[in-house]
Amino acid sequence: MSAATQGKGVGARLVQAAALLVVLGVLLLAMQIAPETRSVVGTVAGLGVLLLAGTLMSELLEVLRLPHISGYLAAGFICGPYVLHLVDAETVHRLQPVNGLTVALISLAGGAELKVDLVRRTARSVLVATLVQSPLVFFVVGAAFLALAPYTPFADLPPRAIFAVAVLWAILAVSRSPTALLGIFSQLRPKGPLAEFSLAFVMFSNLVVIVMMAVGIALVRPLLDSDASLSLSNLGLLGRELLGSATLGITLGIALAVYLRLVGQNLLLVLLVLGVGVSELLRYIQLDAMLAFLVAGFVVENFSAQGPKLLKAIENTGAVVYVIFFALAGAHLDLPALKMFYPVALTLCLVRCVATWGAAVGGSWFARDQPVVRRWGWSGLVAQAGLALGLSTVVVRAFPSVGIEFQTMAIAVIAINEVIGPMVFKLGLDRAGESRSGDEPDAPPSSTRN
């Protein structure tokens, strides 16, 4: 059990549980007595409910050795539109722009964690893992989708269209969750080869999957639209988007490093302006905010002496940032979609997990990784969250005829991976002895790097 957990006795846990019940009870009573308060309290109150409930729930679930992310997700789901209705669907929708801030801060932190020497140490492992993971997961999940097609909303489509949807689904399965990984990092502060490999691979693999989706959409378009012809113009647009995002990220990183060196004051306000203002600008000009902020954090950490100052500023907002992001994700979990597709969703999740595990073991063997990475390297690759949802939205825009059904199924599958992924990764870090809460590790933390 973690040191934090050991330091809190039964009395403290009972107080936290009582506080959570009182808060939820008072809010439920207020909604019953004065339903109009739902519109009065609005967005700010909804955010406050998610923050308070998420914080208390994460502390309580820590007793079960679950990651804080699980508590944030659970609180959002319980308070959200499908259970207690304390935060309705309209409020959840209005709060989505807040994710621009959280994604910006999380991406900045992720870039700052990617030090050049870490990239060098893990380069072989990451390259081999990418070459093994991407095609193996793609083909296995794609084949599983084709086998399960009669039980999906696409059963009545012609065979070529079903094949096209299977290709898009298989690409979606290759995506990972940087936000879930960094959320676990924020809680556990892991050190060791497993943590290093997971961080480097997840960041790199998501660039790969963005390219795969652009290529996939270009290739399957004639199969879903009989009037369309094969066109690789999307690849040119993708190249400009990635180059533009990286260039803007470099510029932003240089500007941020100069500010930290010459001024270094009001960092919280600066981060808020960057997270909200720049994120909206990037969305408007259709550049990738996650990539831009990731590059900015990388530049500050590796090409200036201001990396520690940036990380400290982000860490000061860390708890609030992750509570907001994952509580909103929990509130956004679509229970009707999960009920509708849970047999197929569970099967596809299981197939993806098995393929991910097999590919990770094989890739680690080829790369001659350390034993702890061979055994637990797959654990950080299960979670899916914002990127996968973003890719499903891209499919909706590209193929309206099948996009809504595709996104509905994707939400159901991503919800399962979003819940189990962080728990699996925390287990892997604990068993590897790399987290603060690690007990009975399979191998002691090693200072030897790949």
pLDDT (tens digit per residue) in 229-273 = 666 666 677 777 788 888 888 998 998 899 888 887 777 778 777
User: Between residues 443 and 128, which one has the greater pLDDT?
Assistant: 128
Which runs of consecutive H residues, i.e. helices, occur in 35-157? Answer: 37-61, 68-79, 89-95, 98-113, 116-148
Average pLDDT over residues 324-349: 82
Q: Given pLDDT bands bounded at 50, 70 and 90, which one contains residue 440? A: very low
Residue 96 confidence (pLDDT) above 80: no
Residue 318 shares a structural domain with residue 218: yes
On whether residue 438 sits in a domain, the answer given is no
Q: Which residues contact 6 (CB under 8 A, 6 or more apart)?
A: none
**In which band, very low, low, confident or very high, does the pLDDT at 201 lie, cut at 50, 70 and 90?**
very high
pLDDT reported for residue 8 = 61
- The reply to whether 342 and 284 lie within a common domain is yes
pLDDT digits (tens, 9 = 90+) for 13-30: 676 677 667 666 666 665
- Residue 446, domain member (yes or no): no
Model pLDDT, residue 27: 60
Residue 449, domain member (yes or no): no
Residue 42 and residue 190: Cα distance in Å, rounded? 38
Does residue 156 lie in a domain region? yes
- Among 95, 121, 153, identify where a domain stops: 95
pLDDT of residue 443: 45
pLDDT at position 318 is 62
Spatial contact of 380 and 142, defined as CB atoms under 8 Å apart: no
Three-state SS at 447? coil
Report pLDDT digits (tens) over 97-115. Answer: 677 777 788 888 888 888 8
* CA 397 – CA 413 distance, rounded (Å): 20
Q: Tell me, yes or no, whether 63 and 138 share the same domain.
A: no
Calpha distance 353→309 (Å, rounded): 38
| Inside any domain, residue 22 | yes
Residue 31 has pLDDT above 80, yes or no: no
Provide the pLDDT confidence category of residue 429 given band limits of 50, 70 and 90. very high
7 and 121 part of one domain: no
Distance CA(97)–CA(423), nearest Å, equals 27
The mean per-residue pLDDT over the stretch 201-215 comes to 86
User: What would the pLDDT profile of 41-50 be if each residue is shown by its tens digit?
Assistant: 456 677 777 8
Q: What are phi and psi of 10, to 5 degrees?
A: -60, -40
441 lies in some domain = no
DSSP-derived secondary structure for 389-428: HHHHHHHHHH-HHHHHHHHHHHHHHHHHHHHHHHHHHHHH
Tell me what percent of the residues of the chain surpass a pLDDT of 90: 24
Tell me: do 286 and 390 sit in the same domain: yes
| Mean of per-residue pLDDT scores for the chain | 81
Domain containing residue 358: 100-432
Using the 3D structure, point to which of 70, 95, 120 is the last residue of a domain: 95
Count of structural domains, the chain: 2
The percent of residues in the chain predicted with pLDDT above 70, rounded, is 84
Kindly report the length of the chain: 450
User: Mind listing the pLDDT tens digit for each residue in 291-333?
Assistant: 888 889 899 989 988 888 888 887 777 667 778 888 888 887 7
C-beta separation of 99 from 386 below 8 A: yes
Q: Are residues 122 and 16 in the same domain?
A: no
The answer to whether position 322 is within a domain reads: yes
pLDDT of residue 137: 94
Find where tokens 């990731």 sit: 294
Q: What pLDDT sits at residue 43?
A: 65
The answer to whether residues 266 and 146 belong to one domain is yes
Check residue 443 and report its DSSP letter: S
Report if residue 317 sits inside a domain: yes
Regarding whether 43 and 112 lie in a shared domain, the answer is no
Mean pLDDT over 85-93 rounds to 76
Instruction: Indicate left, alpha or beta for 264 from its phi (over 0: left) and psi (-120 to 50: alpha).
Output: left
Question: What is the rounded CA–CA span in Å between residue 182 and residue 311?
Answer: 13
Please give the Cα distance from 331 to 91 (Å, whole number).
Answer: 10
Predicted local confidence at residue 329, as pLDDT = 81
Count of beta carbons in the 10 Å neighbourhood of residue 130: 17
The structure tokens 């073991």 sit at 361
Residue 242 shares a structural domain with residue 355: yes
Whether residue 40 has pLDDT greater than 50: no
Return d(Cα 348, Cα 272) in angstroms, integer. Answer: 38
Which of 82, 23, 79 lies closest to 47, judged by CA? 79
Least confident of 6-10, 89-93, 283-287: 6-10
- 69 lies in the same domain as 127: no
Q: What is the pTM of this model?
A: 0.79
Both 73 and 134 in one domain: the answer is no
